A and B are shown apart, each in its own frame.
Chain A
């Protein structure tokens, strides 16, 4: 199927279950491991990731397709717009957009909704360096999504990350009381459990396909 034809709803569901950004691409691991230690931080970070991933994907889509993509600037004089190549800057621009967006959101929240800021404040700066969000932006380009598909993908990936981190926080509560072989304590066992969880998620594989 042509990627342009998949309905945004399908993409949303796929991004949560079959193509979970964390479990199938192993992106966003560092904050996943750090914050799955406790349930409440896991929820906070998961919500923050969902929010930022949705909006930066939209923003990045617009910037990519209206500025960076080949031919986007064809209104420039002398055929210059058709010759300049900006796609190579996509990576760096996406990072900058995510970082700037997070900064501004943080300031807006701090000013106008202290309660929200306090709920998410701790997690927002961490998101700047969360590779899942960047991964979403890059995949959206590679897969040639349209605007609504991209937004659905961003939103779904955020929810997928939230789901994975929640599950892991639940598992790690139990791990605290188990005897873990020496040398595997902490991160080691978490990575192994994540791997097993990823395999379990493969059970969803036939449900929908987006790539």
Chain B
């Protein structure tokens, strides 16, 4: 505005549309008299006027209303058509109030009657001032618009999101028209309850925090919550909730949120790694423990067993009958303790993978025959008949370990068979697998114990380990071995009629492929490290 005043004081560029030269001169005279420094051009016809407003720039246009063939209002229309904001003042004879009002409505700055020309300088000043105001306002509006656009763009492109909620938790505004974090459009979410997309497990917590925040003016809280993204995944958002309900320009609860899923994932990975390290440390401690126990238990056991063995042999002296019986009990129990230690260590090592299965191609019939041969004497000593029906199938297995399973099952079956009965070992091919079966005619196993017996120290009867000399670990070891071969083991039984232990192993083809796959995997894993 001050700029314009300066212009007004210095020089005014005026276009005068007037077909009467005398009137034109009067106008200019009046302006000069008022002390205005001006440069003027006078045009008389429509063509001249149009050419001038097209080519020149004026501070003010003065126009007569009544012109030959047209009028001042039409001239103003021409100016408007060219989108030029130049103060336009009618300098005219009497035109009537209606026309005058109509002209002002259309945007003409002012009108001055020719017989009141003294008003003209003031009308010009006021028109120029008004234009300066208009320009100022337009500039301010442009700036505001610009600021708003920048603000919007900032919000739109910021990695973090902002949402505005009502006191009831409805979404009033979201910063991103297209929410990059969760994938929804702003429109979709407006009016929705903000809890709707929160993970069910986090909802109660979110609600509590929200209630706490709105309980006190300008209260703020931070929460990590899971939100359902449009693609169906759960994203971890860190939400800073601020109560600005009483802030007149906001009137809502502001949520600033950012996606911390990656951070959470990394933290989770670290936690898992720590757990894994811890697990390995424990595993190592266990291995060491197993190793120490193995040595520390066996050493005194070796001495005890040795001494008892020497006494029992009768080589050192000939003890009386009672003493001999007691020594025999000592020998039997030292042996049992030794077996127990062996079995515990065996089971630990198989389960922890410390013992890897030495797999090779072997024949099932050979394994069955060898196991039966080894157990034949034991069976005979119990008055039990051992019958084998071998089946020759090529297996990919650790023959020593499979023998261990067969011997264990046969030994159990013999132990629990009444004298004069038979124990049968057989095998069958069942859909790509070979199924071994050890069948006895003993007392059987209650249905409720059929699964439990494969757990550690879970014999059907607690007195079994004493009477039958078992360790309570045999079946657990069998299960571990079979599992390590990719097979399954289970028991079936009819009480009073006998039991049937069965286990299946994959045939060679499957096993070899599986082994190759596993080897390839472990090779790939090793190359990762």
- Chain B binds chain A: no
Chain B residues with a Cβ under 8 A of chain A: none
Chain A residues with a Cβ under 8 A of chain B: none
